[in-house]
Amino acid sequence: MKADAFPYRAPWWLPGGNAQTLWAALASRRHFGPAPRWQRSRWNTPDGDFVDVDQALHPSAPDAPLLVLFHGLEGSSASQYAVAFADFAAAHGLAYAVPHFRGCSGELNHAPRAYHSGDFAEIDWILRRFASEHPGRPLLAVGVSLGGNALMRWAGELGDAAAQQVRAIASVCSPLDLAAGGHAIGRGFNRLVYTRMFMRSMVPKALKKLEQHPGLFDREALLGARDLYEFDNLFTAPLHGFRDTADYWSRASAKPVLHRIRVPALALNARNDPFVPANSLPTAQDAGTHVTLWQPAQGGHVGFPVSHGPFGLPGHVRAMPEAVGHWLLTHL
């Protein structure tokens, strides 16, 4: 099912997907109410590792819905979109939590593994834990970028069984075709800016992982990696059971399983997203009957900034969480 119910238009002073992406991440206003305060819990995983979960401390009724956000590549509860969704949750009386993928909470995880775009088994374990700890709360989930692909992959893999855990899900600016997104971020301006930004975070963490587990991968080869394709080939793919980057990107992508989703699901993608080529976005035929597609012309990658204040500055990023959050609430 396709609908353009989020007719987003960028401010005139932010033309293009890169400007909308970078302004939202670096300079936008993230919340209208107080900044979120968090209570962190450490969940021990079945394989002897841990996941850190930040739960917002704003008040909510005992039976209010719980909104769970799965962050993007190298994201956290401090990411601009996580804060903006926290502000939405507080304004609407929802409980709110951000589970961190392994190694993203500020402390390196214990196991040889890390996290990846198709980590639907981790999504499943986390959502089951939330459901068991909050039996009186309807569960809603949103995934951003990498987290959204993993969430949609989870829903496609589980089919009818996903409805036992959640009422509705949404992905925001997710590379549902990982190969298309992976190649796009490795070219031109994307390679100079975004690839370097991610590699500055990911390579040192991988080297610390090697200190934990000597012999895990070839250190010199990893130091020579210059893009996500090479990094995934040396680190992400082999550590998580994939043959190589091509195998990882193929088997972890959510696009091929969207038609198997059986819970209300929303996929929001801006058509000028620098990371996600418009020609790779799912069509109504790809999506099936349970998936709604929002594909506005503008917004960038997890951007969607909106003018604010007397001169339109500094702009805020609450419009996207407002639209996505209300869509989720209509499916309670």
DSSP string of 196-250, one letter each residue: HHHHHHHHHHHHHHHHHSTTSS-HHHHHT--SHHHHIIIIIHHHTT-SSHHHHHH
Query: Which residues, at least 6 apart from 140, have a Cβ–Cβ distance to it below 8 Å?
Result: 65, 66, 67, 68, 94, 166, 167, 168, 169, 328, 329, 331, 332
Which listed residue (31, 71, 134, 301) is catalytic? 301
Catalytic residue list contains 232 = no
In the predicted model, is pLDDT for residue 329 greater than 90?
yes
Which listed residue (145, 171, 174, 253) is catalytic? 145
Closest CA to 4 of 203, 238, 251, 268: 268
| pLDDT on residue 311 | 61
Q: How many CB atoms lie within 10 A of CB 287?
A: 22
| pLDDT on residue 170 | 98
In the predicted model, is pLDDT for residue 1 greater than 50?
no
| pLDDT on residue 315 | 80
Average pLDDT for residues 237-255, to the nearest whole number?
A: 98
Give residue limits of the domains in the chain. Answer: 17-177+253-329, 184-252
In the predicted model, is pLDDT for residue 266 greater than 90?
yes
Which listed residue (71, 174, 273, 280) is catalytic? 273
| pLDDT on residue 307 | 85
CATH of domain 17-177+253-329: 3.40.50.1820
| pLDDT on residue 310 | 64
Tell me the C-alpha distance between 108 and 112, whole Å: 10
Catalytic residue list contains 171 = no
| pLDDT on residue 227 | 96
Average pLDDT for residues 192-213, to the nearest whole number?
A: 97
DSSP state of 156: H
In the predicted model, is pLDDT for residue 137 greater than 60?
yes
| pLDDT on residue 6 | 85
Two tokens, residue 318: 């609450």
Least confident residue range of 1-15, 106-120, 160-174, 214-228 = 1-15
| pLDDT on residue 308 | 74
Sole residue written with tokens 């209570």: 39
Average pLDDT for residues 302-325, to the nearest whole number?
A: 85
Contact 65, 329 (CB under 8 A): yes
DSSP string, 207-219: HHHHHHSTTSS-H
Least confident residue range of 54-58, 72-76, 266-270, 312-316 = 312-316
- CA 319 to chain CA mean position, Å: 17
Two tokens, residue 268: 């929001």
Contact 278, 251 (CB under 8 A): no
- What are residue 87's DSSP bridge partners? none
| pLDDT on residue 5 | 76
Contact 145, 301 (CB under 8 A): yes
Average pLDDT for residues 114-122, to the nearest whole number?
A: 98
Name the average pLDDT for the chain.
Answer: 95
In the predicted model, is pLDDT for residue 59 greater than 50?
yes
Catalytic residue list contains 213 = no
- What are residue 293's DSSP bridge partners? 2, 267
Average pLDDT for residues 102-120, to the nearest whole number?
A: 97
In the predicted model, is pLDDT for residue 38 greater than 60?
yes
For residue 228, give the amino acid letter.
Answer: L
Cα torsion 262, 149, 39, 50: sign: positive
Cα torsion 237, 243, 249, 254: sign: negative
Closest CA to 298 of 110, 39, 20: 20
Tell me the C-alpha distance between 117 and 27, whole Å: 27
In the predicted model, is pLDDT for residue 134 greater than 70?
yes
